[in-house]
Chains A and B, each alone.
Chain A
């Protein structure tokens, strides 16, 4: 009888101490687990984090960024995605090489294509570029867009359906500048950086903190199993 009481007291103390250790980790497991169960609902796979410390923590390779500064906003290329300000307006299979703005429209040239859009970032159309050379650039004359190389220029009709040879543009083309990923404000929906889903998965498994984190989560999981057993044991004994 005395031995049983002693065993119960030891088991109770052990149960409390393990419970305290496991509680914090179990809280992490539960919260991240519930969030991960509803990835679609919380848009975890469509939210990307780009904090410098997080990218450094993950050794995330720095994306290539280039930009063209228009009068009111910038055209930015981050890897294969094209943005007007903070709005994603398209993707590209090659580098950004030109952008020009008239009073009503903006034309962006990247890779082999052109993106025609309004100043609000609404895409009107995407089309193949009539010139696809590395030296090509975009400019404007009045309300008409022009595309060309050093000496040869084409001028577009208002619908951008037909390009005819023309004079050199009134407004000189804007230059493409290389920039740093860390110096540009990027929207969370841009699929560049570490996704929230990945971060929560790594937090859930403990991998965010390397092998120590994984070991801690393993111990917490084993601890939970032992707590369940010791809890049942103590409850049955008291009855």
Chain B
């Protein structure tokens, strides 16, 4: 009897639903992976005026909040963003260097379907992706059957991270010029 219960328990753990939700990477682990042990101070970027409009156009809807946090060291910026896949927000982290994504990770997945986007085989596709002039990703990202909405959410967040990085670099260049 015990063996049967153990088997049922193991089967439940191995089922896709059990794999689906959860925190895959903490914020501190993500930042350590991005910057090593010396994580820079957190900074804020406000979505106001033209930037807010551009972000709304880019995502197809307004972003969930207007004050965003990021971490910057030289030409590298790191962003933790959220987008709803189908019903619940997906939290993902992006590291952008020289206006190209160098790392992408799913940090928290709350949906019941589409968890396959957490796999490195999927997230590695974003590496060395840039934002084109018409606000598209420079590389084609292969979708995952049954995870279309989660994939779309990741694509939107990747574009947003690249656009926000541009804004930070522009502001920095402006300050340096003055």
Contacts and interface: CB of A to CB of B under 8 A. Distances in A.
Interface of A: 116, 122-126, 159, 191
Nearest to A123: B65
B87 A125 contact: no
B66 A124 contact: yes
**Which among A125, A126, A191 has the highest number of chain B CB atoms within 10 Å?**
A125
Contacts of B66: 122-125
Contacts of A123: 64-66
Interface in B32-83: 44, 64-67
A191 B65 contact: no
Interface of B: 44, 64-67, 87
A125 B44 CA distance: 10
Contact of A191 (B44, B67, B87): B87
A122 B48 CA distance: 12
Nearest to B89: A91
Contacts of B64: 123
Contacts of B87: 191
5 contacts: A116-B67, A123-B65, A124-B65, A125-B66, A191-B87
B62 to A, nearest CB: 8
Contacts of A126: 65
A191 B44 CA distance: 31
A41 to B, nearest CB: 14
